[in-house]
Structure 1
């Protein structure tokens, strides 16, 4: 039977690749890459570099076009579900056409496949349709959240207290109840600006050559982060950022 490895490759630094991930790349026959367009060509280039370094000489690389989606939809959940469905159709066609029986195919996932990624859900949808059969394995990677904490030399949680991972969209609706430490992924709304008394540990393109970091009380650094984020997005055409927002301990 065909087998697919969903391989977490880390947040951008090639040295983030684990031994388990390197071994999986080394035994892969076919790599599946979804092209996100010229603006995000660097994401493809990183993967191709890892494949050249760790893949065996007879490996094959096949590319599909990642479907576009509305980034500011009225129905966010429905839009994401539709986008995932269309992605699953693209990937299903690639698997059917290019992965032979008894071969191993790999999908190289930025960061960790279990955090802010849809690959696992997409593979499950393909299997549910039943048009193609395969087994799959998930190999964890260093997430942008872990890399962010390491860069700022902080722990994500404090002793005896929880931490919550959420989105900028949800933070814009209000601070989550029951937590004082909130990790926010991809905050296009820059919702942190509504919490001037909190401390922020922010990073964009973490662990890449374009890495940007900032930290401090929101009231003191928010304007600088907003300007930095805007300039970076204009320069690169895209941005990936993450931050920890932390309520200070009471006096």
Structure 2
């Protein structure tokens, strides 16, 4: 038997509606919102809106909040750092930066020496990779994959090919040739005799069609590909695909 009265409010509630009106007046409409949820606070896997409604958070900050909202260890670490200093740009050194880079270097799947480039977002990481690939190789062109999502800034948008609305009107970088991702359930290419699996079909298409009639391989600076395609449908490629692509 219920012993507590539960009051349910429509979403958005009155407090949320007032904030939404203020938001629409001053905040850029470039941000895509999926719901009229005005968050007040979160705890663990749950979030609360300003009208007191409680929700289970299945988004988890697009998988960023792996420890949940307001985890005490994370809160304490932020508080301790805020008591020392906050932003000082990249013009100076500090030990926490080194410590994080050392930890990332320990767990990264590289056997050779590597250095760590820290960015503010995934799209910034892609922009850095584009610049590095061009600078290192001196080559202008890239290969990307249909259905891929790599960001919405101008360089990374050249690789993003998951929704036309993300590209329309922005004239993204044109030096990217897109090929099908090895999506076995919904293949865009016909498998050829002798292909071991659909991953080999895609790589053969890159070698025998793209590199023969569209793009010279010696002009390609890099191939940008998601290990598991996200916005394209959470697609796991065949196990043979990446070793074959690396060849």
TM-score (norm 2): 0.28
Which structure has more relative contact order (CA 8 Å, sep 6+)? It is: 1
TM-score (norm 1): 0.28
Which of the two has higher C-alpha Rg? 2
Looking at secondary structure, tell me which structure has more strand per residue: 1
